[in-house]
Amino acid sequence: MKMKGWLGEMGFNKSGGKINWFPGHMAAAVRAIRHRLKLSDLVIEVRDARIPLSSANDNLQPMLSEKRRVIALNKKDLANPNIMHRWIRYFDSCKQECLPINAHSRSSVQKLLDLVELKLKELITKEPTLLVMVVGVPNVGKSALINSIHQIALSRFPVQQKMKRATVGPLPGVTQDIAGFKIAHQPSIYVLDAPGVLVPSIPDIETGLKLALAGSVKDSVVGEERIVQYLLAVLNTRGTPLHWRHLIGRESEGLHHELDDTPEYNLKDLLPKRRKPPNKSDIYYIEDMVSEVQRTLYTTHSEFNGSLDDEDNLETLIDQQFEALQSALKIPYKASGARTMVSKKFLTLFRTGKLGPFILDDVPDAS
């Protein structure tokens, strides 16, 4: 089934198939980025490893292609490792340096810095000052990367004046101006952090939905329910729920660690409302919820008799899954706005990696 045809049937393109989200500060930010790109010696373009192509800003690509550039595929811990090597080969075939990273991992960020230094090696002997610019669409983890780079720089040069940590939050568009700080001496290397900017409109509706699913477009622009409809369509047509039969009943690993170290989307939002802080029993509560969600989607998918190549049948299955997920996520049957509540909790599970690692983009043909 062609996904774009189904999206049209579901009414996703009622506004001409475009997603428009371009806050006022972005226009000024784009102008500033273009000016600083001309002065930069190297660009770190941060993309979301789950959407290696959809998270590229097409408007900036002509300028970026003319610069020394490293594409950092961030959030690699949320991306399918069985597919990632194909993306690395793809970028290599395009003669483009690419490195999957986890911006919260010091060793991962150090590998990126080593690659940056290698790319600048020729210039280091010629220029007293070098500029490295970090760019990307909103919420791909630029600020987390900047913070990690800064911590590494401080360990190298403890006498360096501390800069204010970059703001990291759950909403796209948090960083709204361009700031810089020094990461090396002899030569002096400065890193410039730019705000995340999208193109003024996203003409391809599926690209827009992938960006919304990854959190680069505010949920309110598209609507949580529509984002989850798209996610369920992807999972069902790719047969993903069937893979979860091997995961049913298996305990999630390292969940307590992610409760503390996933700043973008908070697993605590899945817990029952109460005043006490999360504890060990809360961890098991979320583990049980994850298993129940996986079991629910596996069961509804495997027992469905319709053809998923048919748009109406797929829509019927998704409606059934919304109802089943309401029970799995422990949302009262008669709750007001139940589908929105289901959508928000389900998105949190996806965005924190609890549903498993995914790469939503398809690897283009090398030819």
What would the two tokens of residue 266 be?
């908070």
The percent of residues above 90 in pLDDT, for the chain, comes to 45
pLDDT of 160: 52
Highest mean pLDDT among 60-69, 187-196, 235-244, 329-338: 60-69
pLDDT of 144: 92
Domain spans, the chain: 1-16+222-249+281-366, 21-193
pLDDT one-digit tens code per residue, 273-331: 555 555 555 556 677 888 899 999 999 999 999 999 899 999 999 999 999 999 999 99
pLDDT of 159: 55
The structural architecture, per CATH, of the domain 21-193 is 3-Layer(aba) Sandwich (3.40)
Interatomic CA distance for residues 350 and 290, integer angstroms? 10
Interatomic CA distance for residues 76 and 105, integer angstroms? 11
Place of tokens 């996703």: 12
Q: In sequence order, which residues have a C-beta less than 8 Å from that of residue 147 and are 6 or more positions away?
A: 165, 166, 168
Interatomic CA distance for residues 276 and 304, integer angstroms? 41
pTM for this prediction: 0.82
pLDDT score of 154 more than 60: yes
Q: What DSSP string describes 144-200?
A: HHHHHHHHHHHHH-TTSPPPPPPP--SSTT---S-EEEEEETTTEEEEEE------S
